[in-house]
Amino acid sequence: MNPTPGLYEASEVLDRLRLRRHELEELLNVGIIAPVAGGPSGEPRYCAETIDRLAGPQQRTRLADAIWWDFDLQQPSYMPVGAPWARAIDLPFYPFDDEEQQRWTRRYYKLRDACAPGPYPDPGRLTRRRSRMEDKATKAFERKHGIERPPQSRGIDVWIRGTHIKISRAKLRDLVWSKTMIHAAADLGIKETALRDLCERYMIPMPTRGHFNWKDSRKRPTKPLLPLLPRSNRKG
């Protein structure tokens, strides 16, 4: 049996990498860091091995350079113009991991800076990007540590008061984060209380009451990752 891989909460990542929360958010937007699992309430968890690797002095300098990278000057913007500067580590697309990440960040920074100090104008695209990075990192993490998700852990197949509910956990999570619980329950043909019970049983994170009262959807908390489902819950 493989040992349980280490995971860090966001607060531990901030401490290990000596980052502020907005700096971690920027590294998540770029894709250098990505969650690989969800906690009991869907809060992100990060691979401890990866975070520890990034905690070295040279890697932390690289992270700072990525946050402050100026694509025109080809160096971090915190450096005075003309001051001597050298890469902290040898990477072909420094300070980024690869060419795709570099291309994305160039576009992201250009649009972000053009709209500053206002919010990023395309939050949907940014959310989709981060979701893809999380999915990629999660799959790589699970492959490396031999974590297998049985097919029965991915779906819900139950009867509730004569109504057959067959849906994946991910789709149910997406449903309850796309509309109020009352409307989501109506879509499934059940009562709101039954939907809440179902979400609790299958560890589906639910938005707090009042989540959809925000007129600006960009200010709402983002949809969380799904936590791993204990084996005892998997058969429905």
CB atoms within 10 A of CB 50: 19
Give the phi and the psi of residue 119 in degrees, each rounded to 5.
-75, 160
Residue with structure tokens 């990075």? 133
Structure tokens at 91: 């990477």
Q: Which residues are registered as beta bridge partners of 157?
A: 166
Residue 40: both structure tokens together? 């009991």
Q: Which residues of the chain have pLDDT under 50?
A: 1, 151-153, 234-236
Q: What are phi and psi of 217, to 5 degrees?
A: -60, -25
CA nearest to 204, candidates 164, 168, 159 = 168
Integer Cα distance of 128 and 125 in angstroms = 5
Whole-number pLDDT of residue 38: 80
Neighbours of 99 (CB within 10 A): 10
Residue pair 158/188 in contact (Cβ under 8 Å)? The answer is no
Going across the sheet that includes 44-47, the strands are 7-9, 44-47, 37-38
What pLDDT, on a 0 to 100 scale, did the predictor assign at position 27? 97
pLDDT at 3: 64
Tokens 């160096």 correspond to what residue?
75
The answer to whether the CB of 67 falls within 8 A of the CB of 79 is: no
Strands 7-9 and 37-38: unpaired
Q: Is the dihedral of CA 60, 89, 129, 155 positive or negative?
A: negative
Strand 37-38 with 163-168, pairing: unpaired
Query: For position 188, what pLDDT does the model report?
Result: 94
Which pLDDT score is estimated for 187?
94
Which of 35, 39, 27 has its CA nearest to residue 142? 35
Q: Where are the alpha helices (DSSP H) in 37-180?
A: 48-54, 57-67, 99-115, 123-144, 169-176
Using CA atoms, how far apart are residues 131 and 88, in angstroms rounded to an integer? 29
pTM of the model: 0.68
pLDDT value of position 54: 97
* Short-list 152, 147, 154, CA closest to 172: 154
Domain borders along the chain are: 7-144, 152-233
Given this model, what pLDDT does residue 149 score? 61
